[in-house]
Amino acid sequence: MPPNNTYVNFERFSQVLEEIAAAEEGLRDLERNQRSCREDVAALLSIYEEKEGWYKEENQSISSDLSHIRQELQRTQAQRKKSQEEARLTMQAANALKRKYGRLENRYEVLAEQVASEVRWVEELVKSMIAEKGGLGSMP
C-alpha cells in the first residue's frame, strides 16, 4: 500500500492557496496604486495645463505691455529729437537776432555821435551868430 501523503499534499495545497491569495492581494494593491497614480498624474496634468494657460495669458499681457512701452519710448525719443532740433533752431535764431541787434546798436551809436556832433556844430553856429549879432549891434 502506498504511503499516505494526504496531509503533506494538503499542507502544500494550503500553502499554495495562501500564496495565491497574497499574490491576488498584491495585485489588488498594485491596481489601486495604479489608479491612484493615474488620478495623481491627471490632477498634475490639469494643474500644469491651467498654469500653462495662465502663463501664456501673462506672457501675452506682458508682451502687449512691453510693445506699448516700446512704442511710447520711440514716441518719446522722437519728441525729444524734435524738441532738441527746435531748441537748436531757436538758439540759431536768437544768435542771429543778437548779431543783428549788435550791428543795429553800433549803427545807432555812430548815428548818435553824428547827431551829437551836428548838434554841437549847430550850437556853435548859433553861438557864433549871436556873437556876431552882438558884435554888430555895438559897432554903430
> Which tens digit of pLDDT belongs to each residue from 47-67?
999 999 999 999 999 999 999
Residue 72 has pLDDT above 60, yes or no: yes
How confident is the model at residue 9, as a pLDDT? 84
How confident is the model at residue 67, as a pLDDT? 96
Three-state helix/strand/coil letters over 58-118: HHHHHHHHHHHHHHHHHHHHHHHHHHHHHHHHHHHHHHHHHHHHHHHHHHHHHHHHHHHHH
How confident is the model at residue 140, as a pLDDT? 46
90-104 confidence digits (pLDDT tens):
999 999 999 999 999
Question: Looking at residues 22-48, what average pLDDT do you find?
Answer: 96
User: What cell does 27 get?
Assistant: 495585485
Question: Looking at residues 94-116, what average pLDDT do you find?
Answer: 96
> Which regions of the chain does DSSP assign to beta strands (E)?
none
Enumerate long-range contacts of 129-136, CB under 8 Å, 24 or more apart: none
Report d(CA 58, CA 34) in Å as an integer: 35
Specify the pTM. 0.48
DSSP letter, residue 60? H
Report d(CA 96, CA 101) in Å as an integer: 8
